[in-house]
Every structure is written in structure tokens, then in C-alpha cells.
Amino acid sequence: MKTWIPALLGIMSLFTASATLAAPQPLNHVVAIVNDGVILQTDIDTALKTVQANAQEKNQSLPDTDTLKEQVIEKLILDEIQLQEAKRMGIQIDDQRLDQAIEGIAQDNKQTLDQLRTSLKQQGITYPVFREQIRKEIAISEARNAQVRRRVNISPSEVDTLASMLAEQTTQNVEYKISQIQLRFGDDKDATEKEAQDLLERLNQGEDFSTLAYAYSKGPKALQGGDWGWMRKEEMPTIFADQISTQGKGAIIGPFRSGVGFHIMKIDDVKGLKTVAVTEVNAQHILIKPSIILSDEGAKEELNRFIDEIKSGKRTFGELAQQYSQDTGSAVADGILGYQTADSYVPEFKHQIETLPIGQISEPFKTVHGWHIVKVLGRRTVDRTESAMKNRAYQILFKRKFNEEAGAWLQEIRASAYVEMLDQQDEQDNQ
């Protein structure tokens, strides 16, 4: 869960509607048609107010309202397209999963649920609206993960090569906090390059990087001021990593060219990393996939029946896994997955194996693969073993390729979507 919660909070804050805004609201109308959905003026107004409030809290300057509005509308369009994709895939987030996610948000912020409710109220956010926005963001994240994961291909030779390189490194690694401005190619590529050079000159004259990112960047982090957060070089998109050599804190790199446009990158900070021992978990699970015949509720009931049979001693976990689990790879081994790092699994599964006591069976839970029950058989700490290096190498490669493919996927679904911007005055005249 922790892999997506910080990003989720940043995204969620842009689109959470406030029921306590008492100022008179203008007549609502459709600003954009996105496939079979719409973007309303109230959606844009709420997002603008939230971005402005967040920037004021962080003492960040923003571009003019028209420019910021363009960025907000584009983000709302992308989210609407992704939400439609989630609905097309039949992704539904039930209340149990939603409650678990919100509890995780509270824990990550070192709050109780009551304290979280109080914080939301102080920000003018109603708890029901907060819940539904989190539900949407989880659905969007799940759809994106499911679509992008299938595009990521990692060969054993890639893992072995990177694992060998990691094993040769010292215990000290370097981590970078980076930001970027991305300009997309238009009809005139020379004009795009000139715009990038002009932005570089303005940065060298002392203008704020995040302000220019809000105003001009077309990258995935534009509404976060271009902030990509902390990453090792191995985890960055390749085009970023290739630009970093010996630069230090505050360095501005670029403009450099990619297949989509020009980029300017800033190193906001640098720090060394200590080697940390890896915890591996040996888990046993049963997977049931919903179908036209078997509903989500039916799959959940079947797993609850398995739990009852195991606890009563009628059947063993392994027997049931062999007979019923639809994870064919592990079913032949009594559902046993073997020792793996928790990061090898999807967020919901990772949360279960990290928090379950050894020997305890989980309640049924859902992931992108279907419904599961899982039992933790054991945990062990591994320090720089060959297995740990290969696991780490795989995760680094996966994260890098996932980031690259996610960006490409977003561009593809945006390009293939039907988006019509309505003339606001005409829309008002027609009401």
C-alpha cells in the first residue's frame, strides 16, 4: 500500500470537493466531453481552489489562472479517461478495501481515523466526499497497474546483469530528489527547442523551477511542480539516469531531447543510502477468480468456506490449494509461493503478508488477479545474498520500465479518446 499512498494523497488533494464552500456558486455547465463522460465547471473550480490552497500552504508561487486552469483541465481529462477504463474492466472497490486504504492513509500520517476526520473537516472536506474520491483513485490506480504491467517485459539475462552490477557496488549508494519540465513536440520542433532554451535561461536567472513546471510542463508531475521525489539512478526513467553523472544539489540539466519532446531536469537534493537487510516471506495462498458464473460475493463465500474447513481440520490448506486454486503455478506446490520479498507482490497482497502473524490465515481479500486467502509460513532476513540481489534487480528494472510504459500508455489513451472542449458561452446560452 505504501507504494501508492503518497502519490494518491497528492492526486486526491487536487480533486476533493468541499461541501463547506459557502460562497455563491456560478451556474454549473459542461466544459468538456470525454468519451461518454463530462468535465463540469464545478470540477474545475474545486480543483483550482485546492491547488491554490495547497500552493499557498507550501509558499509556492503559481502561474496565472488561465495557465493553471489549462493544466487542471488536462489532469481532469486524463483521470476521467482512466476512470472509464477502470469501469470498462469491471473494477469495483468495495467498502472493505476502501476502509483498509483509509486506515492506511491515517496510519501513514500518524493519525487515528477520528483525527483524520477532524483534519479533513478543518480543510473544508467532508468525509463522504473524501471516501468516494479515494475509491475513484484506487480504481484508477488498479486499472493503470493492470494495463501497464502486461506491457513490461524483463528477461532473466537483464536481471542477472543488473544483479551482478549491484553486488559489486559498495554499501553506499546515491539517491537523488529530482524535478523536471517536459515540453511536448508540436508541429514545429525547432520552436519547442527554442521554448526549452528560453526556460533554461529564465531558470539560470533565478526563476522558480516549480512555478515554471506548473505553467509549462506537459509531464506526468506537472501539477506537483514537476517533483518526481527521491529515486536512485537505477529506478529513474532511463532518459533521466543517462543525464546524471557527478552533478550535485541544485544542478539544472538540459534541455535534452527524447522521443516526445524536450526535458529540463533539476537535482533538488542528493543523499547517500545505507544498505538494508532484506526480509523475505514464504507464503501460501489460494486464488479464486470471479467470472460470469461466479460473482465477487460468491468467490468470497467460497474462500470463507475453505477457511472453515481448514480450521475444523476437515481439509488442509495445501489440499484445497491443489484442488481449487486458480494460480496454477503455485497450486501444484500446495499453494506455496516460496521465499520472496513483499515488494514482489501487488499492494493488497503485500499488505497481507507484511502484517499477518506467522501461521494465521487472512480474511478473503481482492487484488487485480482475483480473490485470495493467504497464510504466512515463515520470514527470514537476507543480507546481500544472490537471491536478494536478484529480487532487488528485478524490482529496479520493473519500476523503471513501469514508469516508462505508464507514460506511454497515458499518451496512447489520451490520443485515442474523444475529447471535445465546449464553448462556455454557448453552453450557458443553451441552458
CATH number of 5-149: 1.10.4030.10
> Which residues have a Cβ under 8 Å from the Cβ of 330 and sit 6 or more positions away?
284, 285, 321, 336, 337
Segments of 110-251 assigned E as strands: 173-184, 227-232
- CATH assignment, 173-273: 3.10.50.40
- Quick one: which H or E segment has residue 399? helix 386-416
The pLDDT assigned to 430 comes to: 47
% of the chain residues with pLDDT over 70: 85
Q: How confident is the model at residue 310 (pLDDT cuts 50, 70, 90)?
A: very high
371 forms beta bridges with 288, 366
Q: What is the rounded distance in angstroms from the CA atom of residue 138 to the CA atom of residue 142? A: 6
Report residue 164 as a C-alpha cell. 551482478
Of the CA atoms within 13 Å of residue 405, those in its CB half-sphere come to 17
Q: Would you list the DSSP string of 50-108? A: HHHHHHHHTT-----HHHHHHHHHHHHHHHHHHHHHHHHTT----HHHHHHHHHHHHHH
Q: How much is the CA Rg of the chain, to the nearest whole Å?
A: 24
User: 424 falls in which pLDDT band (50, 70, 90)?
Assistant: low
Distances 52 to 65, 72, 223, 307, 392 between C-alpha atoms, Å: 10, 11, 11, 50, 39
Grid coordinates representing 295?
460473482
Phi, psi of 179 (to 5 degrees): -135, 155
- Tell me if 128 sits within 8 A of 74, measured CB to CB: no
Q: Which CATH architecture has domain 278-382?
A: Roll (3.10)
Q: What is the pTM of this model?
A: 0.47
Burial 181-203 (b: 16+ CB within 10 A, else e): bbbebeeeeeebbebbeebbeeb
pLDDT of residue 251: 86
Which of 10-19, 188-197, 399-408 is least confident?
10-19
Every domain of the chain and the residues it spans: 5-149, 173-273, 278-382
pLDDT at 272 over 70: no
Lowest mean pLDDT, pick from 148-162, 237-251, 286-300, 332-346: 237-251
Average model confidence (pLDDT) for the chain?
83
pLDDT of 170 reads 43
pLDDT of amino acid 349: 94
Name the burial class of residue 59, with classes exposed (0-12), middle (13-18) and buried (19+) by CB atoms within 10 angstroms of its CB. Answer: exposed
> What values do phi and psi take at 126, rounded to 5?
-80, 145
Q: What is the mean pLDDT of residues 177-195?
A: 90
Share of the chain above pLDDT 90, in %: 39
Q: Is the pLDDT of residue 181 over 50?
A: yes
pLDDT score of 275: 41
Q: What angle do CA 287, 410, 95 make, to 5 degrees?
A: 40
- 173-273 against 278-382: fold identical: yes
Residue closest to 31 by CA, chosen among 424, 428, 430: 424
Question: What's the average model confidence in pLDDT over 56-72?
Answer: 85
pLDDT, position 11: 40
Count Cβ atoms within 10 A of the Cβ of residue 250 and give its class: 0-12 exposed, 13-18 middle, 19 or more buried.
exposed
**What average pLDDT does this structure show over 393-418?**
91
Comparing 172-176, 187-191, 253-257, 303-307, the range with the smallest average pLDDT is 172-176
Which grid cell sits at 409? 500508455
Amino acid at 98: L
